[in-house]
Amino acid sequence: MVTSTHEAAHRIFQDHPEALDLVFETLGVPPPAKEDYTALTPDATEIRPLERRVDTVLKVEPPEGESYLLAIESQTKQDPDKAASWSYYVAYLSAKYAMPVLLVVVCRDRPTANWAAGPFPCAVGTWTTQVTHPFVLGPDTVPEITDESTVARQPALAVLSAIVHSESRRAPAILETLARGFQSLGRGPTKYWCEATEVGLENTPVRVKWRELMSKVITYFPGHGTLFEETYLEGKAEGLTEDRASLVLRVLDKRGVDVPEGTRERITSCTDLDTLTLWFDRSLTATTADDLFADTPGNDSPPAS
């Protein structure tokens, strides 16, 4: 089952590929500029009966040197079937686009990260035909960000660090640094990164810690109408429901799901946070906009406009 943590751990690279700079630094390759990236369809399906989908695919076209693809997978546990899937992704994408492929796997616990590093050979007897060797972003390769200035300069890397180290004993300290570092950002970026962090930490023990930190942050900006002041101090849910509705639409847009005008209006006019949360969870796997409303009591799908 696809979880919010899984989605956040790879989706962050679609909007903020600069978080991948750590990969290139380790490989000794100059990091591409943001404009060198292009998001490609993650669909790797060749025939209808068997659907395959990479989590995120980015094309890197530097002004100098060869172009290549980044296939990014988020992995929360060991899965023996993934070795075959990853080998297929690399071979398929390389053949489809006629480009080399770098497979990057994001893991938040060390056993999964160690396993995901492979290598995964395809061999008959002593002859190896193909080897899949992922580059893993995990506890051993992503630094623990405990410096507020780094959070301010590289928020994408800081959020990735918080997600990857969410099961570490130092996770609370990392989150405290993250909360303090976000205070130097503007209101818009702060809202984005705080919500991205909360989504990424869903289903992890430290998510409660993050929510506690967010409830304390409001005391630093009293009377400024911040997101946290609106939702925690004043107890108003309007700002949060608007943001959640926007996030639902953003996820559908990023996944290429068509949203008719009637459906869009229904989402943006909803004021029930629980319903919006349900729709957000469904948006992560929905193939049509109507999938959001399946089995919702008292809610029939609106006609397409």
What does the alpha-carbon distance between residue 7 and residue 4 come to, in Å, rounded to a whole number? Answer: 5
Bridge partners of residue 74, in order along the sequence: 106
Which pLDDT score, from 0 to 100, does residue 217 have? Answer: 56
- Per-residue pLDDT, averaged over 149-178, amounts to 90
- Per-residue pLDDT, averaged over 98-120, amounts to 93
- Per-residue pLDDT, averaged over 23-38, amounts to 79
Q: Are 276 and 251 in contact (CB under 8 A)?
A: no
Lowest mean pLDDT among 24-28, 218-222, 299-303: 218-222
- Per-residue pLDDT, averaged over 107-128, amounts to 89
**Helix%, strand%, coil% for the chain, nearest 5:** 50, 15, 35
201-243 residue pLDDT tens: 877 778 888 887 876 654 444 444 444 444 444 444 555 677 7
Answer whether residue 103 shows pLDDT above 90. yes
pTM, full prediction: 0.59
What does the alpha-carbon distance between residue 60 and residue 48 come to, in Å, rounded to a whole number? Answer: 29
Percent of all residues in the chain with a pLDDT value above 90, rounded to a whole number: 23
Percent of all residues in the chain with a pLDDT value above 70, rounded to a whole number: 80
Which pLDDT score, from 0 to 100, does residue 180 have? Answer: 86
pLDDT band at 301 (very low <50, low <70, confident <90, very high): very low
- Report which secondary-structure segment, H or E, holds 137: strand 135-137
Which pLDDT score, from 0 to 100, does residue 200 have? Answer: 82
Q: Are 227 and 196 in contact (CB under 8 A)?
A: no
Which pLDDT score, from 0 to 100, does residue 8 have? Answer: 58
Answer whether residue 51 shows pLDDT above 80. no
Answer whether residue 196 shows pLDDT above 90. no
Q: Are 138 and 106 in contact (CB under 8 A)?
A: yes
Answer whether residue 24 shows pLDDT above 70. yes
Bridge partners of residue 68, in order along the sequence: 60
Which pLDDT score, from 0 to 100, does residue 135 have? Answer: 94
Which pLDDT score, from 0 to 100, does residue 108 have? Answer: 86
What does the alpha-carbon distance between residue 1 and residue 173 come to, in Å, rounded to a whole number? Answer: 30
Answer whether residue 81 shows pLDDT above 70. yes
Domain boundaries, the chain: 4-137, 148-233, 238-293
Look at 208 and 139; give whichever has higher pLDDT: 139
Lowest mean pLDDT among 186-200, 221-235, 276-290: 221-235
Q: Are 280 and 252 in contact (CB under 8 A)?
A: no
Place of tokens 């980044």: 70
Q: What is the mean pLDDT of the chain?
A: 80
CB neighbour class for 201 (10 Å; exposed up to 12, middle 13-18, buried from 19): buried
| Best CA proximity match to 227, nearest among 256, 193, 200 | 193
What does the alpha-carbon distance between residue 158 and residue 150 come to, in Å, rounded to a whole number? Answer: 7
Which pLDDT score, from 0 to 100, does residue 14 have? Answer: 73
| Best CA proximity match to 155, nearest among 191, 104, 105 | 191
Residue type, 226: T
Joined tokens for residue 220: 């630093």
Lowest mean pLDDT among 73-77, 146-150, 214-218: 214-218
Answer whether residue 284 shows pLDDT above 90. no
Look at 178 and 186; give whichever has higher pLDDT: 178
